[in-house]
Structure 1
Amino acid sequence: MPERFNPDSVVAGLRPIAAAAMSLPQEQAYRSFYGLDKLAAQQVRLGFFDAAGYRIAVQAWWPQAPKATLVLLHGYYDHTALYCHVIEWALSEGFAVLAFDLPGHGLSSGARASIGAFAEYQVVLKAALTQAAQLDLPQPWHLFGQSTGGAIVIDYLLTGNPGAEIGQAILFSPLVRPRAWGWSKLSYRALKPFVRKISRRFTENSHDADFIDFLHHRDPLQPQCLPTAWVGALIRWVPDIEATVRSPRSPLIVQGEGDMTVDWQHNLAMLDAKFSAPKVLLLPEARHHMANEAQSYRDQYFAFLTEQLHK
């Protein structure tokens, strides 16, 4: 593993994504640290755009002769650089990739791992799609979301009036309700008057031991607390999204049956009611961080996605 990079130096050097063609030394160190430099891309950019009061770090990769684009939304506590497997697969499929760090995550600004309301995520996603247009990324734009990123994609599909430029939606371990939803709401209401954040409890949410070790001990961009503000935003969002009208879209869903983070049985039932015959790949014993599960699981779901996208 390369030596640690300086996150503050990378952030200070970010330029608007449209003008970020040259790679600075601190950006190269960042890519090397996470293995992003090993991705087979013809062109790479790291920059920012402004949205919802945040400075959002955004990256783009182009393969040779791209035929579509994957817009990638990472999960809670995550950041773009943890998604090399998904980016590598997308590039191999001939897709350009546009990925951004959510507010309060990775290289983006904002209180760490917090948000005022889930509606802010929609503003950021729509601004990212504007960037995709300005960069002339090829359509269709397929949306990919892991966990909270999946929640943002679900929200956009159900409330954002997506146009013909949006292709398929891919949801990995999508968040609607977290596991122990009733207890989460009770705990939030009890703690809210007294506590603004609680220490993060790291879990083994993947069978990939190297990934878990890196996440728990070596990733300098990992938030160390759970803000109650984010929990409150989720609690307000869930009943709103569950009350939305049905969409004719049919997303692709990959879900592990060993997921101890989200209430996946409820969530799959809810998504089946909200979308037109979503296609679901259930993986026995797979855990929550599907994008970084063990190789055997990755082989199965990438084969599934490739088959579905080529139909």
Structure 2
Amino acid sequence: METTHAEETLAAPGGPTLYFQSWRPVAPRTVVAIIHGIGEHSGRFRKLVEALVIRGHAIYALDLRGHGRSPGQRGHLLSWSEYREDMKAFLETVAQREAGRPLFIYGHSMGGLIVLDYVLRHPEGLSGTIISAAPFESVGVATPLLVTSARILSRLWPSFALKVPLEAQALSREPSSVADYLADPLVHRACSARWAMEALDANVWVKAHAGELSLPLLLLHGEEDRINTVEGARRFFEAVRSGDKQMHLVPGGYHEPHNDPGNARVFQVVDDYLRAFRA
């Protein structure tokens, strides 16, 4: 299938100029906007992108501020609302490019939290959301030491850089995927003290408002995710009151369903979800 790939930038109102990529088949069925997790970037979704584009879906993927090829201190912001502003600018750009096509948003890991925080406030213009391995209950990152340090430093030194204690081997059961992550020069393992506190507060807010989610939801999670627990995903799913929801658990799966063995089944589940859309 003929596909075009583009690398561009957009200006977030009052914020930095952000990098994003797009991959388009000739006549897309639907459009998927991808938001990555902490410390990574838009280029880490190659397998997912290839699987969806060949099935006829256009993909747009953003590098959040402080990540990848976008500017800013790595893993830093002053308020979670900055992500909402970036998301708004990104989605408006995508919607203008793809007017008339169903638009879905896909958030992985911390990107899932960013997406849920946004769509709970601004579901307009979106056809559905896909949330992968979101940090409803984190065990590998939000350690007691990190939380305590962040709480103190967030007030005294907001930009102070903390090391995110993320276990690379817990990302995927595929050794080559872990090796790619460790060798990627655009990956970082830092967050600021203020970012850590804003993320914790956003997580509390999102879980408290789960029952208000109005968009169709597909929740993806590995059953053996050691970074964000599957129990947290189950509890969030149960709290969503909408009947238009589904959950796909990857047997034995680690943190990245799109980079884990058996990802072909995950891609098919996502494709089925996108194709099921009816205006």
Q: TM bucket by the smaller chain?
A: 0.7 to 0.9
**Shift in CA distance, 284/42, structure 1 to aligned 2, threshold 3 Å:** closer
Q: For residues 248 and 151 of structure 1, what CA distance do their matches in structure 2 show?
A: 16
Structure 1 residues 101-250: aligned runs within 5 Å:
101-136=63-98, 138-160=100-122, 162-163=123-124, 165-179=125-139, 183=144, 185-189=147-151, 196-203=160-167, 204=169, 205-216=171-182, 218-244=183-209, 246-250=212-216
Instruction: Give me the whole-angstrom Cα distance separating, in 2, the residues matched to 1:133 and 1:75.
Output: 22
Q: TM-score, normalised by structure 1?
A: 0.78
Select which of 50, 60, 79 maps to 2:11. Answer: 50
The range that moved more, 103-112 or 90-99, is 90-99
Aligned equivalents of 1:75, 1:291: Cα separation in 2: 13
**1:68 and 1:137 in contact (8 A); partners too:** no
Q: C-alpha separation between the residues in 2 aligned to 1:152 and 1:191?
A: 23
Verify the 8 A CA contact 1:67 1:94 in the aligned structure 2: yes
**CA distance 1:42–1:238, change in 2 (3 Å):** closer
Structure 2 residues not aligned, in runs of 5+: none
Corresponding residue for 1:293? 260
Say whether 1:99 aligns with 2:61: yes
Relative contact order, higher structure (CA 8 A, sep 6+): 2
Q: Distance in 1 between matches of 2:143 and 2:175?
A: 31
Using structure 2 for the length normalisation, give the TM-score. Answer: 0.86
Cα displacement string for residues 82-137 of structure 1 (whole angstroms, at most 9, x for unaligned residues): 11111112212211111110111100011102222222111111101111133235
User: Matched residue of 1:166: which SS?
Assistant: coil
1:253–1:68 distance in 2 versus 1, CA, 3 Å: same
> Considering only aligned residues, what root-mean-square deviation do their CA atoms show, in Å?
2.3
Q: Does 1:85 align with 2:51?
A: no
Residues 245-287 of structure 1 deviation map (CA, whole Å, 9 limit, x = unaligned):
5223331111111111124312431243134142111112211
SS state at 1:127 partner: helix
Report the identity percentage. 23
1:64 is matched with which residue: 26, 34, 43?
26
Q: CA deviation at 1:301?
A: 1.0
Q: Which has the larger radius of gyration?
A: 1
Unmatched 5+ residue regions in structure 1? 1-39
The residue type paired with residue 265 of structure 1 is E
Misfit runs of 4+, over 4 Å: 190-195
Give the aligned residue type for 1:44.
H
The answer for the alignment partner of 1:281 in structure 2 is 248
Inter-partner Cα distance in structure 1 for 2:82 and 2:2: 31
Deviations 1:57-92 (A, max 9, x none): 011121021122111111111111111111112212
